[in-house]
Every structure is written in C-alpha cells, then in structure tokens.
Chains A and B, each alone.
Chain A
C-alpha cells in the first residue's frame, strides 16, 4: 500500500528523475600518431536515459567509434568517468568489463563484425558464452532469435553465404540475444541500402521502446535513425554539441 502511494505520488508529481543508463563525464582521449598527439575527445559529457535513443553525428575521424568503444569498455579514456547504472566502468577489471559488456551492452558494428568461419547460429551463440546455459539451450535461444528475424532457415549458413541484410540481422540478433540495457550502434546502416536500414530500425526501435533500454547510434551522415532520435548530438572537435533537445527524459 505504501509502495502504491509512493508510486502514485511519483506519477502524479512527476518529480523523480530516472537514473541514466550511462553517464559520461569529461571524457578525454588522444592518440599518438608518428610522434604527434591527436586529441580526439576533449571532455565529452553524455547522459543517456532508459528508453532514449541518442544519435551522434559527426564526420569520419571525429571520434564517434572511439566514444562508443570507451562507453562499452573496449577502449579506455585518458581521463574522465563512465558510470553505467552508477557502476564506474573504468574501475572494473578486464574480466568484469568483458562480462559487463556481454550482459549489459549490445554492440552493432558498421561492417557487422561477424566471424567469417562461424555460421549464423554460432555467431549469435557466441554472445551466450559462459552463462550457465546448456549447449542445447544456447542453440535453441540463438535459433529462436534468428527465426524471429526471419533467418530460421539460414542458421547453418556462413556469413559469406548470406546477403548484406541477412548479415545485418545476424549481427542484430547477436547484439540483442542477452537482452542488453544499452545498444551501441556504430554506423549501423553505413553498409546497407535504405530498405535494409529501415528493416534494421524496424527491429531496433521497438526493442528499445519496449525494453525501456537505451541506444546510442553514431552516424557520419544522414541516417534514418535521426528521425527516431530523441536526442541528437554533433561530435565536432572532440566535444558533443546538442542539436535536438532531450524531450521528456530528464523529467521522465
């Protein structure tokens, strides 16, 4: 009853902000190329809330992928803090970061990054490693999600035996199979035609809305996801410039 009162109160007053899924503060990252230091990220601040789709635009080389990799723990920032559901990602060990990434984050790459010698089923199944499921369970779950993406008859095909669109869906299946709270999509439609891009969004957007997950999409040009963006940023000269205001998320 008490909970009910509180919930009603929350809904009525719309007072409590939800916690961001990810919060990046003052992220700096530089590279040294032939002795010359190149500052890629110069103090990036970013918050992404549950259910929010953030699109980051920027030219090639501006550091969009680097930002995604830093958020996912694949790369480390020179300085700054990343909190994923209040957990400081940069304080985790290598093992913990890998597990965190596997359980919490779905990665979608521009070129899909499917393992060429593994079948569609095996590629999807690879994201289920060491999660205490039997082999049959893993296969069954991977097959189920692939079937849901109309690839039920292509389970045993290698990536090269699939069309670009099918490869994209396999990559999506791998990203979504662990039901992640955050999707990081790096130029996800950079290699596909408009129809395939639309099909992909037809899978991702409902997933985010239904799951109350969050998605950060990077793109270097026009992208259909911009139309779905709740928040739009431009990454330029190492900093994020808001282009389209966050809607209701801060007072969600």
Chain B
C-alpha cells in the first residue's frame, strides 16, 4: 500500500510539474539514447570498416624461396626444353620451392584461416623469343583466397573472367597486353600450346602478380611439358585468407609453422594500424559519450534537487501534516525512478527507431539492432542507477530541511 501511495503521489507530481519533469526525463532519455547510439553506431561502423580493412589486409601470399639452385631440389629441369636460368617456379620474382596439397590443407585447417588456396607461379620463356613471362595458375574454385591476393573479377578490363575448367583460355595483365598488343579474343602461344585470351585484367601490385593468369590445372599441364620430372599437383605459393584482421598475425604464424621458418609471407599490414586507429576513434567516442552521460546524469541530479528546493514548502507542509521521512523518501525515489523509466524508455525507443530508419544494415553489428540485449539493458539500467543517485541526492536535500524552518518562511 505504501509503495502504491508513493507511486501515485509521484505520478501526480510528475504530471503537475511538467517542465521540471520534462527536463529530468529528457536527461535520462539522452543518456539512454547516447548509450544505444554509441553502442550501435561506432560498433556498426567499426565492424563495417573492419570488413573493409579485412579486404585490404587480411590476406597473404606465402611461398618458400629456394636458397640455392640445388636447394632441396624437388624439381629437376630438362636441359632440352628447359633453361634453368630462365624458366622455373618463381614467387615474388625469385626461385621458389614447391608447396603441396597436404601443406595447404594443414594451413586451411588453422582456426585463424578462412581459406587457403594453392597458387602456381611459373616463369616461362617468352614465345616471342625474348624475355620471360610469369604465369599464374589460380584455383578458380576458391575465389575468397585468390580475388584479394592475385586477381579479382572486378579487375577485368576487357573480356570475361576465366572459369573453373577453362584449360585453353587465359587472362593477361593490362600492361603485358599493351606491350604485345593483345586483346580479348587474341591467341597467345605459351610453350608449345596456344591459348585464347579471355580477358585483359588490371590487378594492383601484389606478391602474386603475374603476366598471364590461367586455371591451376591448365598451368600444371603446361608445366609438365616443360619439366622432365614433375610431382603431381604442385603449387609454389599459397594464397591465404585470414579469418579476420585480428586473426591475421596468428594466421601468419600458423602458415610459418607449416611451411617452415624459411618461408616468406607477403601480406598487406594496413589492417593492424587501421584497426588501432579505429580503436582510438572508438575509444574517444566512448570517452566523450561517458562524459556526456555523466553530465546528463548530473543534470538530472541537479534538476531533481532543484525541484526539491522549489518544493520545500510542499515538503514542509507534508511533514507538518504527518508525512514521515520514509514517505518523502519513497515519493522522491518513486518520482526519480519514474523519470528514469519514462525517459530511458523514450530514449531507447527514439534512438532505436532512428537507427532502424537511418542506419544502413551494413553499419549494424552482427545480429542487427536486437543482437545486443546487453546494450538495451544498459540503456535502461544506467538511467535507473542515475535515478537512484538523483533520488538520494534529492532526499538528502529534503532531509536537510527542517520543517519548522520551512514553516517559518511561509
């Protein structure tokens, strides 16, 4: 009964003191709205930006440079059709050792790796008789791995991207095509074979960059024709897509563990400083938000204590007619909680609606707007905690008043 009375009197007070009530509720609603906004917007933009950064920096091309010509000598070279000085497996313009399917599978099984794909880079003497060309054999069934490290469909300038099963079609790099006046549909001789140019592509400078791109099986077939002894299904590089930027370093460590300490891993490291910078921005946003939230809560405290000062006559009269301190405390606390609950609900509703209406889905964190119940709980509980402090401050103010002193002033 006493709590019902307190709520009833509190609700009446809120309705009667509309301006003060609106001020207090506005403070609480801003607190909730800021909590929701800061939790979703920087979180969403952070996730979206992280996705972008992942595209840039969460990939790597790993290979094992061959330290000496004799090295581990997995392959031997034909002296008839193969000139060891000019042809062979290269990665990053240096001779490299082979990497086999079981190693790639081990890398793929790493918990930090989203996908790993074999990549074969072979330097072949130019059919024009002068110079060498670098061929890139892509496992076209694994676009996740190759599109960010070697060449992507979006980088087609002319023609169409080759597809798995294309054994006689290749793509040539734009600068290469220009040098030899090649265009989509032209024929190109590689070794003893002719290939149709399916596309002219223009990938950015990457460790896996080649002059000519073809499917992995097609290049393997071609390589066999250039070597006397050739182990089945080789590759000399592995294209790795890390699970995310934050897993990138761990993924690199896993690759090194599989390929050995002599392996080289080329990757774009923008993600790490990028994410650090984003973290700084996000932290700054949080710090500013916390300051604003504290200010809003202090404002609510100020409004409620001011309200008590303005109502000292009312409080004095109520105490004179027999209201106990407990009654006053319950009423002030009930008012405070009602302010917080109404204000927080309004803030949550408003900010949630605005986010739903205006924030693109890609900026939303995983699970969407309802994916973070802890945010909604915080948006409600922090104002309620603030209301407890504000209510207590108001009560202290009220209890600091002496009824007799108040009555003397009336």
Q: Which residues of A are in contact with B by a Cβ distance under 8 Å?
A: 65-66, 69, 72, 74-75, 94-95, 98-99, 101-103, 105, 107, 109, 111, 113-118, 122, 126-127, 129-130, 132, 134-135, 174, 178
Contacts and interface: CB of A to CB of B under 8 A. Distances in A.
A105 B320 CA distance: 10
Interface in B132-147: none
B12 A135 contact: no
A94 B322 contact: no
B5 interface: yes
Contact of B326 (A95, A109, A132): A95
Given A107-B321, A113-B317, A115-B314, 13 more contacts: A65-B407, A69-B404, A74-B319, A75-B403, A98-B327, A113-B407, A117-B17, A127-B322, A129-B322, A130-B5, A135-B8, A174-B321, A178-B322
B320 A107 contact: yes
Nearest to B315: A115
Contacts of A122: 12
A94 B324 contact: yes
Contact of B322 (A65, A102, A115, A135): A102
A163 to B, nearest CB: 20
Interface string B294-330: 0000000000000000000110011111111111000
Contact of B325 (A72, A94, A132): A94
B109 interface: no
A103 B4 CA distance: 21
B17 A74 contact: no
A221 B318 CA distance: 28
B74 interface: no
Smallest CB-CB A-B distances: 9 pairs? A102-B322, A75-B404, A98-B324, A101-B322, A117-B16, A95-B324, A113-B317, A127-B321, A74-B403
Contacts of B325: 94-95, 98
Nearest to B321: A127
Max count, chain A CB within 10 A of own CB: residue among B4, B313, B324 = B324
Contacts of A126: 318, 321, 323
B299 to A, nearest CB: 23
B326 to A, nearest CB: 6
A201 B12 CA distance: 33
Interface in B1-29: 1-2, 4-5, 8, 12, 16-17
Nearest to A178: B322
Most buried by A among B1, B321, B324: B321
A98 B326 CA distance: 10
Given A74-B407, A122-B12, A102 B1 contact: no
30 contacts: A65-B408, A69-B407, A72-B320, A74-B319, A74-B404, A74-B407, A75-B402, A75-B403, A95-B324, A95-B326, A98-B323, A98-B324, A99-B322, A99-B324, A101-B320, A101-B321, A101-B322, A107-B321, A111-B410, A113-B320, A117-B16, A118-B16, A126-B323, A127-B321, A129-B5, A129-B322, A129-B323, A130-B1, A135-B8, A174-B321
